[in-house]
Amino acid sequence: MSEHIVPVKTYAAVFIALICGTLLTTGIAYVDLGTWNTVVALAIAVAKMMLVVLFFMHVKYNRGMTRIVLIAAFFWLGIMICFSLSDELTRHWEYNPLPWTESALLPYISHLLL
């Protein structure tokens, strides 16, 4: 447990920042940014999460084990999301094997030699 006492002023500032972030993300959702809508929404969500984690959950004042567990959790989450997506999003390719003949391989061989 952290022995560090966070001043109420800090909590108030974080609270105001979180409310502003909520208003901002809601407002931006009505502006057409194309793909960037998702990116901006997630970036604001990550920023809000960092504020909660660092100040409300005192991670800014905790080192060592707390941070290791937190970083490990997000690392696992990253593995889960990246590997699931790399599987799912590459499933629907056309499977089109090349015939094992000289004429089909010739361009590749000549490419390698040149």
Partner 1 sequence: MWIFLATEILFFGGMFTSYTIYRALHLSAFEAGSHLLEVKFGATNTAILICSSLTMALAIHAAATGKKKSQIVTYLILTMLLGATFLGIKLWFEWHHDYVDGIAPGLNWTYNGPYAPGVQMFMCFYFFMTGLHALHMVIGIGVLTVLTIMAARGRFTEKYYAPLEITGLYWHFVDIVWIFLFPLLYLIGGRYSGGGH
Q: Give the footprint of partner 1 on this chain (CB under 8 A).
A: 1-2, 5-6, 8, 11-12, 15, 18-19, 22-23, 25-26, 29-32, 37-38, 41-42, 44-45, 48-49, 52-53, 55-57, 65-66, 69-70, 72-74, 76-77, 80-81, 84-85, 88-89
Tokens of 8: 């109420």
What's the residue count for the chain? 114
In the bound state with partner 1, the residue whose beta carbon lies nearer, of 73 and 109, is 73
In the bound state with partner 1, the residue whose beta carbon lies nearer, of 73 and 106, is 73
User: What is the closest distance, in whole angstroms, from the C-beta atom of residue 29 to partner 1 in the complex?
Assistant: 4
User: What is the closest distance, in whole angstroms, from the C-beta atom of residue 63 to partner 1 in the complex?
Assistant: 13
CA distance 39 to 31: 13
CA distance 95 to 73: 36
Angle at 37 between CA 86 and CA 18, to 5 degrees: 105
User: What is the closest distance, in whole angstroms, from the C-beta atom of residue 46 to partner 1 in the complex?
Assistant: 9
In the bound state with partner 1, the residue whose beta carbon lies nearer, of 29 and 109, is 29
User: What is the closest distance, in whole angstroms, from the C-beta atom of residue 108 to partner 1 in the complex?
Assistant: 33
CA distances from 16 to 11, 52, 67, 75 (A): 9, 12, 25, 30
Q: How many CA atoms lie within 13 A of 54 on its CB side?
A: 12
